[in-house]
Amino acid sequence: MSRPTSRLRIVLGVSGGIAAYKAASLLRLFTENGHDVTVVPTAAALHFVGAPTWSALSGKPVATDVWTSVHEVPHVRIGQGADLVVVAPATADLLARAAHGLADDLLTTTLLTARCPVAFAPAMHTEMWEHPATQANVAALRSRGAHVIDPAVGRLTGQDTGAGRLPEPEQLYAACLAILAGAAAAAGPERDLEGRRVVVSAGGTREPLDPVRYLGNRSSGKQGWAIARSAAARGAEVTLVAANVSLPAPDGVRVVPVETTLELQAAVQDAAAAADVVVMAAAPADFRPVTVSDSKIKKSSDPDAGLRVELVENPDIVRGLVQERAARGSGPLIVSFAAETGDADGSVMDHARAKFSRKGSDVQVVNEVGRDLTFGQDETTVHVLRRGTDEVLTVGPASKDVVADALWDTVSSMLG
């Protein structure tokens, strides 16, 4: 069951916390992925981000009270027509009012009339988050079916750090899609990856030159993270082999951290032995130094001396998995990634098709990479190739979560 990608009606509630500025980025993620968003801030929220900002980003007028456009009965109609209501940030005050059913502005009346999934993303100082009153309000909301997204741990206002930080917009967006997918799954067929074992690799490997320096690439691991998160949401048992990724672990996913390509190869091969699907979304370094210095390499006193580093090719992990499967006569479905740049010898797709033929994987995901392209970005465009057919599925520009779901739609159909 894929997450919804059709045009959705989202109500974005914003309460009066310093983290309100992050909600503007969350709004952009919704609108840029084609969804219709109505922003309902509290009066306090407008002290942090003004109404013109919300109106410009959503393309709609913004109100905080029930008296604006009263003939349209907004305090009832907004909640009734929504597919999702998400409040980000949700202050301690807003959580308390929602938990006790108060309805003294447009946002709280909308919360009472909504019959769609409702999510709260709390943001406040640690002491406020941990206070028994706040925890009781959170428990009350959850007991009624509301989704309360746990806050992140990190820098707060001033010099304080701790639990209570609003998660990053990309994480909130992914959580909202997961909530909608869960609602759809509850009303529809069983999850299509239930009982499947999935291995996903993510990030970029680093090959050390000395204790300080390494050869690496720009991969952030965001796409692999989205693929693992989507697989888990669809019922799979997921092992995520993470090469130098600083993102928080996806819920319900086993993470195996690695650094080098050889470590990545060993971890993937070990996990693949019992897997149904292996998705190689990581970006392994193609070469590694022949020797690694035990101490930091110093500059020479001669500025023209330079430094010569002898490199050796790293193994092709995907090709190795294909060969092992052939030797055993059975094994997982294998998905490879081709991060390519065009050059004088061919286009991105020319190089990708040659790589697909050479590696022997079952599915290949192709994307163009480079500075400000794919690596580290929140959106991407990919072309999905399947062995045995000339058809190409193009997805994007879209968020990496949407790309992940499209990939699993393809893989799920192949698994039968």
Q: For 21-30, 219-228, 356-365, 374-383, which range has the lowest pLDDT when averaged over its residues?
A: 374-383
Mean pLDDT of the chain: 88
The answer to whether 9-186 and 197-415 have equal CATH topology is: yes
For residue 380, what pLDDT is reported?
A: 81
Categorize the per-residue pLDDT at 123 as very low, low, confident or very high, splitting at 50, 70 and 90.
very high
- Cα dihedral 355/357/358/363 (nearest 10): 70
282 contact partners, CB below 8 Å, separation of at least 6: 201, 202, 203, 204, 205, 219, 221, 224, 241, 243, 264, 337
Backbone conformation region of residue 129, classed left if phi is above 0, alpha if psi is from -120 to 50, else beta: alpha
* Residues 304-325, mean pLDDT to the nearest whole number: 91
Q: For 184-198, 207-221, 343-357, which range has the lowest pLDDT when averaged over its residues?
A: 184-198
For residue 67, what pLDDT is reported?
A: 66
46 versus 381: the higher-pLDDT residue is 46
For residue 188, what pLDDT is reported?
A: 43
Q: Where are the domains of the chain?
A: 9-186, 197-415
Q: Is the pLDDT of residue 391 over 90?
A: no
Q: Which CATH number is 197-415's, of 3.40.50.720, 3.40.50.10300, 1.10.580.10, 3.20.20.140?
A: 3.40.50.10300
Q: Is the pLDDT of residue 1 over 50?
A: no
231 contact partners, CB below 8 Å, separation of at least 6: 193, 196, 198, 200, 238, 404, 408
For residue 71, what pLDDT is reported?
A: 53
Q: Where are the beta strands (DSSP E) in 260-404?
A: 277-280, 287-289, 311-313, 333-340, 363-368, 379-386, 392-399
- The first and second tokens of residue 381, run together, are 């465009």
- φ, ψ dihedrals at 379, nearest 5°: -125, 155
Q: Which of 152, 174, 173, 176 is nearest to 164 (CA)?
A: 152
303 contact partners, CB below 8 Å, separation of at least 6: none
39 contact partners, CB below 8 Å, separation of at least 6: 12, 14, 27, 54, 55, 57, 58, 60, 62
Categorize the per-residue pLDDT at 344 as very low, low, confident or very high, splitting at 50, 70 and 90.
confident
- φ, ψ dihedrals at 269, nearest 5°: -60, -40
Q: For 98-107, 128-137, 161-170, 406-415, which range has the lowest pLDDT when averaged over its residues?
A: 161-170
For residue 150, what pLDDT is reported?
A: 87
* Residues 86-112, mean pLDDT to the nearest whole number: 95
Which of 33, 217, 244, 367 is the catalytic position? 217
Q: Is the pLDDT of residue 390 over 70?
A: yes
Q: Is the pLDDT of residue 277 over 60?
A: yes
* Residues 332-342, mean pLDDT to the nearest whole number: 88
> For residue 339, what are the β-bridge partners?
367
Q: Which CATH number is 9-186's, of 3.40.30.10, 3.90.1150.10, 3.40.50.1950, 3.30.420.40?
A: 3.40.50.1950
The rounded percent of the chain whose pLDDT value lies above 70 is: 92
Q: Taking the model in full, what pTM does it have?
A: 0.58
CA 251 from centroid of its chain's CA atoms? 12
For residue 4, what pLDDT is reported?
A: 47
- φ, ψ dihedrals at 408, nearest 5°: -70, -30
DSSP β-ladder status, 214-215 and 207-208: antiparallel
Residue 244 appears among annotated catalytic residues: no
